[in-house]
Structure 1
Amino acid sequence: MSSDYDDFAAEYDAENAANLLNDHYERPAMLRLAGDVTGRRILDAGCGSGPLSVALIERGAVVSGFDGSPAMVDLARRRLGPDVDLCVADLGEPLPYADDSFDDVIASLVLHYLRDWSGALAELRRILLPGGRLLLSVNHPLVQPLSTGGGYFGVSEFPIEATIAGREVTLMTTHRPLHAMVDAFHEAGFLIEDIAEPPIADDTPEELVPNGTRRFVSFIFFVLRNPE
């Protein structure tokens, strides 16, 4: 049982490639929110093995990426090739990018691994151009109360037990209520442009649609703006 992605990077990559939550829900929703990215300099923060970076590059973005897992970054390098700027870095620490480096930062399913968001949000705002966007997704704040009956209003550790390519793992995350997320965004100086709870993609195979419904509680998405 582990929350270290280095322990199961290849298995996670295989699972992520075609499952419901990543391939037919989170990535399509994030790409819809990103819109036209042609020519935009985008940082894929917590890029994992690189599937979102591939989609952004195919849409004309200039992409850099980092992840805290060396094994994940190795997989991303194999997928993206030597010309894409990738590195190992920790979102909880200062990032190896200059001020005002990116038009957009996309942080897919990353922040819920951190208990303290203040330092990470400050760093992401630092490397964004004035007027740039931070697009992010995290576990929906109702996931923990619905799945465990735990309290909603506090910030608390939330271990998620999952089966990835037949392997039982525990992902250590933090539950954060919506008001605490909004407070953190405001304290970091961001403006909230959009909050989304989208359905799964229209082209999702019917056999993957859970209980015949295309809307369910899983992730919540935000579009934040760095003021000019």
Structure 2
Amino acid sequence: MTRAYDSIAEGYAALNETSLLNEYYNRPAIVELAGDVAGRRILDAGCGSGPILSDLRAGGADMTGIDASAGMLEQARLRLGAEADLMVADLADRLPFDDDTFDDVIASQALHYLQDWGPTLAEFRRVLKPGGRLIVSEEHPAATFLGDRLSGGTSEYFGVRARTEEWDLGGQSARLVFWDRPLHAMTDAFAAAGFRIAIISEPAPSAAARDRFPEEFVDRPSGRFLAFLLFVLESTKA
């Protein structure tokens, strides 16, 4: 997976800047859930090219970003500058931070690369201060299931299952593997790791999305569609 993202890093960073799902949906939704972050120490776990890190840093947060792809971190440095606190780290491994380091951890579209969430969630809880928040954005399990069925697939909603996609970006190709899971498997993993759910959000796109992508809203009077599911989780660590 790391090599795959290294190969498409430039193209993926460019896509993030313009796409409905990233620029006008996921990114503003996470920033809104994070709220006032001034003075907070925040880890962006799986920061990619750094758009969310950039937004939260602009809000006054003290930001650290990690990603398994050195290529993606190169794109992040182009955005954030050489002084940005960025490092290569794999979410499947022990995180290179002391206990109780961060007020918040952001995991945006990162956990779905892992078959087993348990060890990574335990690491997030370890590096969070008591009462710290974990803000997670993942593909909506109903959306992935319905998407598979509409495309002729036969997967069941229940259980953890692998999904493979071929991406072509910036003249480069990559084969990516995602691990889909039902809602109850997500919430069970959060509880087992010592997190309490404070918020579950099925966000609407930003107001600017209608102007940028009017064709996507012709048959959506609510202005909403199934894409991502977001959580604000509180550590129960005393």
User: Between the two proteins, what is the percent identity of the paired residues?
Assistant: 48
Distance 1:162 1:198 in 2: 26
Using the TM superposition, give the Cα deviation of residue 207 of structure 1 relative to its aligned residue in structure 2, in angstroms. Answer: 4.3
What residue in structure 2 maps to residue 183 of structure 1?
188
| Change in 2 beyond 3 A, CA 1:104/1:4 | same
* Unpaired runs of at least 5, structure 1: none
| Change in 2 beyond 3 A, CA 1:222/1:53 | same
- After TM superposition, the structure 1 stretch with the greater mean CA deviation from structure 2, 155-164 or 42-51, is 155-164
What residue in structure 2 maps to residue 225 of structure 1?
234
1:156-171 alignment, distance < 5 Å: 156-165=161-170, 169-171=174-176
SS at match of 1:104: strand
What residue in structure 1 maps to residue 160 of structure 2?
155
Is 1:51 matched up with 2:55?
A: no
* Unpaired runs of at least 5, structure 2: 150-154
- TM-score, normalised to structure 2, is 0.90
Deviations 1:155-210 (A, max 9, x none): 10012344535655443101100000010000001011011001100122434141
Contact 1:193–1:225 (Cα < 8 Å) also in 2 = yes
- After TM superposition, the structure 1 stretch with the greater mean CA deviation from structure 2, 77-86 or 35-44, is 77-86
Contact 1:140–1:217 (Cα < 8 Å) also in 2 = yes
Q: How many residues align?
A: 228
What residue in structure 2 maps to residue 65 of structure 1?
65
Over the aligned positions, Cα root-mean-square deviation in angstroms equals 1.8
Letter in 2 for 1:183: D
Contact 2:197–2:234 (Cα < 8 Å) also in 1 = yes
What residue in structure 1 maps to residue 31 of structure 2?
31
- TM-score, normalised to structure 1, is 0.94
Contact 1:144–1:158 (Cα < 8 Å) also in 2 = no
Deviations 1:111-162 (A, max 9, x none): 0111000000000000000010000101111123211122101110012344
- After TM superposition, the structure 1 stretch with the greater mean CA deviation from structure 2, 140-149 or 7-16, is 140-149
Contact 2:7–2:174 (Cα < 8 Å) also in 1 = no
Distance 2:167 2:227 in 1: 14
1:1-228 alignment, distance < 5 Å: 4-149=4-149, 150-165=155-170, 169-209=174-214, 210-212=216-218, 213=220, 214-227=223-236, 228=238
